[in-house]
């Protein structure tokens, strides 16, 4: 347990830094005191399993990576079974119920063939005008939560999103830190990036996955979130 506390603390600190958050800001996002975050990072304390699930969702990762680190592998799976087999029956039931819930959620998000509207083109680089690509209705495998599609031009989100591909997004006005979104810039141009906020300067930061591209900074009134990219 002590080793997993240390790994968990390291992973929390890694994802916190990747999202440009202070411990205080992370605590605000998770509804926890800064002292609690500090104890997690130091390996002194360990959150409840439901809190770990919330943290995994916030950082767009999974609970196994948070607990076992990036070296999670078949040995880790074996360790999970070993731990499970040592649980009392009532605790096994809780673990099973949680796993079933995750499986149901995963299955509900499976892609299904249906028609979807491709609204135009989004840059994956410098923002470009909507009109560079004709809108059209297509029928293809679509993620369950997607309600629009958009054509991608540029390689700034590679390898996750390839240039000249079509991606899907769910229309929504807000994003969590680190999520990939479609953004309208200055009322006319559009781009696809990862979403961050500089709380000190009150700037929106749009970051690429491809390391050859520098982050882009905008005033809040320059950026409108069109939606969250779904896969």
Token representation of residue 158: 């590679």
Is residue 148 located within the same domain as residue 177? yes
Is residue 166 located within the same domain as residue 209? yes
| Cβ atoms 150, 167 nearer than 8 A | yes
Q: Beta-carbon neighbour count of residue 41 at 10 Å?
A: 19
The average confidence (pLDDT) of the chain is 82
Is residue 72 located within the same domain as residue 144? no
CATH no. for residue 156? 2.10.109.10
Is residue 12 located within the same domain as residue 90? yes
Q: How many domains does the chain have?
A: 2
Q: Which range marks the domain in which residue 70 is found?
A: 2-107
Is residue 120 located within the same domain as residue 78? no
Question: Could you read off the pLDDT of 68-81 as tens digits, one per residue?
Answer: 776 555 555 556 66
Alpha-carbon span 185 to 137, nearest angstrom: 24
- Residue 103: pLDDT band (50, 70, 90) is low
* SS3 label, residue 179: coil
CATH no. for residue 48? 1.10.260.40
Q: Is the pLDDT of residue 104 over 70?
A: no
Is residue 48 located within the same domain as residue 79? yes
Question: Could you read off the pLDDT of 126-144 as tens digits, one per residue?
Answer: 665 554 555 678 888 888 8
**Residues 41-48, mean pLDDT to the nearest whole number:** 84
**Residues 150-165, mean pLDDT to the nearest whole number:** 88
Q: What does pTM read for this prediction?
A: 0.52
Is residue 145 located within the same domain as residue 99? no
């Amino acid at each position: 347990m002590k080793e997993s506390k240390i790994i968990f603390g390291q992973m929390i600190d890694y994802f916190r830094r990747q999202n440009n958050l202070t411990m205080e800001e992370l605590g605000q996002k998770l509804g926890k005191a800064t002292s609690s975050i500090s104890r997690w990072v130091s390996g002194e304390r360990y959150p409840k399993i439901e809190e770990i699930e919330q943290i995994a969702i916030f950082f767009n990762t999974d609970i196994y990576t948070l607990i076992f680190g990036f070296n999670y592998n078949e040995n880790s799976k074996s360790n999970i079974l070993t731990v499970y087999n040592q649980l009392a029956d009532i605790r096994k039931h809780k673990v099973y119920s949680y796993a079933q819930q995750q499986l149901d959620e995963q299955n509900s998000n499976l892609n299904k063939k249906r028609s979807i509207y491709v609204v135009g083109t989004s840059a994956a680089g410098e923002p470009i005008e909507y009109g560079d690509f004709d809108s059209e209705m297509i029928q293809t495998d679509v993620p369950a939560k997607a309600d629009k599609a958009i054509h991608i031009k540029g390689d700034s989100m590679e390898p996750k999103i390839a240039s000249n591909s079509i991606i899907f997004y769910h229309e929504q006005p807000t994003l969590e830190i680190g999520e990939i979104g479609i953004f309208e810039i200055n009322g006319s141009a559009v781009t696809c990036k990862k979403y961050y906020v500089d709380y000190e300067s009150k700037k929106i930061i749009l970051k690429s996955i491809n390391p050859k591209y520098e982050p882009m900074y905008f005033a809040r009134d320059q950026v409108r979130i069109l939606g969250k990219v779904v896969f």
